[in-house]
Amino acid sequence: MARAGKTTKRRYWLFKSEPDVYGIDRFVAEGRTFWDGIRNYQARNLLRDDVQVGDGVLFYHSNAKPLAVVGVAKVVRAGYPDHTAWESDSKYHDPKSDPDDPTWFMVDIECVERFERPVTREELMGESDLSEMMLLQRGSRLSIQPVTAKEWRRVLKLGGSSASW
């Protein structure tokens, strides 16, 4: 169907979170959250420019036992300024971020499901189909990562996902 404006294909992402800071339990309980505290320019660029409403998100526990993708979320609000940069009591406080030209951005995501069974990093590494996955590359530290459609489907399948996408 022809429409004014561009239609963007849905993309997929992986967001890392340390469960001690913000884990899947809290996400499930709250249902929705804003993804604040990203203080890396590469990740910022993705949040500001590329992550769109309707995109799918793999929720990954980093610095955890076990390391695993633990659930699925969807983006419900695209990039907007991360206001925690201007909160002096926030651990993400960054007074250098100019309110008229914000340095840091965040998005809102909504919980879709927690996997029946976490898909562990070990399990991911055993999947030859996923050997190219950014998460599994040596030295990969980016906390907001693109995921291909093929990787997305594979991980959801491993997690026993019932989500319809």
Partner DNA sequence: GCCAACGTTGGC
Q: Which residues sit at the interface with DNA, rule CB under 7 A?
A: 16, 18, 39-42, 62-64, 67, 121, 138-143
Instruction: Name the residue nearer to DNA (CB basis): 42 or 162.
Output: 42
Tokens of residue 58, six digits: 């793999």
**Shortest Å, Cβ 66 to DNA:** 10
Tokens of residue 34, six digits: 């804003």
**Shortest Å, Cβ 5 to DNA:** 33
Instruction: Name the residue nearer to DNA (CB basis): 49 or 53.
Output: 49
H helix runs in 5-161, sequence order: 19-22, 24-30, 41-45, 121-125, 149-158
**Shortest Å, Cβ 142 to DNA:** 6
Query: Sheet of 56-61: strands edge to edge?
Result: 32-34, 105-120, 68-81, 56-61, 12-17, 144-147
**Shortest Å, Cβ 78 to DNA:** 22
Cis amide bond preceding 66, omega within 30: yes
Kindly state the DSSP code that residue 98 receives in the 8-state scheme: B
Instruction: Name the residue nearer to DNA (CB basis): 113 or 123.
Output: 123
Instruction: Name the residue nearer to DNA (CB basis): 4 or 89.
Output: 89
Strand partners, 34: 108
